[in-house]
Amino acid sequence: MEELRIRPIRDGTVIDHIERGRALEVLKILGVDSSTRDVVSVAMNVSSEKMGAKDVVKVEGREIGSTETDIIALIAPEATVNVVREYEVTEKYVVSMPDEITGVLTCPNPSCITNGGEPVETSFEVEDDGELRCSYCDEVLEDEVAEYIS
C-alpha cells in the first residue's frame, strides 16, 4: 500500500503522477503563488510503483478547469487529475495534449500583435514535436512553458 504522505482532502483537486521535479511548474500553471489563499499541499519525490518517483499537488476547495489541465499536459503528460468531492474521487482524467492553447501564455515577441495593447487573445499551436508556435507571429517558445504563463 502506498504510504500516506499528505492526508486525503475533502473537496478540491489532486494532480497525481506528476513527473518528479515538475510540481513547482504545475503550481505556476495553477496560478498558485504567495497571494494564494487556497490550501495547497505539495509532495515531491514520493515513491511510486509506476514511475519510481513522482510529485503530487493537492489544491483544496478548487476544481481546476480544462484549460489548466491542457497546459499541465505539456509539462506533465503522465499526470492524472482527480476531482474530489466529500472525500471521494468523483472524476479522474488523464491529461491530454491540446492542439492549441489560447489566452494563457504570453508571446515573447515584443512586436507580436498580442503584445500591441489591443485586446487580442494569445494563441499557440502545439506542433507534433511538442513545440509551441504563436498563431500570430510564428514565434516559437524556446524555454519551459511555465516561463510564458501570464
Where do contacts with ligand CTP occur on this chain (CB under 6 A)? 8-9, 14, 16, 56, 58, 80, 82, 84, 87, 89, 92
Rounded CA separation 131/146 (Å)? 14
Q: Which is nearer to Zn ion, 73 or 141 (CB)?
A: 141
Minimum CB separation from ligand CTP for residue 142, in Å? 33
Q: 125: Cβ–Cβ under 8 A, 6 or more apart, which residues?
A: 99, 100, 132, 133, 135
Q: Which does 82 bind (CB under 5 to 8 A by kind): Zn ion, ligand CTP, none?
A: ligand CTP
Query: What is the per-residue binding string for Zn ion in 74-113, x denoting contact by CB under 5 A?
Result: ---------------------------------x-x--x-
Which residues are near Zn ion by CB under 5 A?
A: 107, 109, 112, 134, 136-137, 139
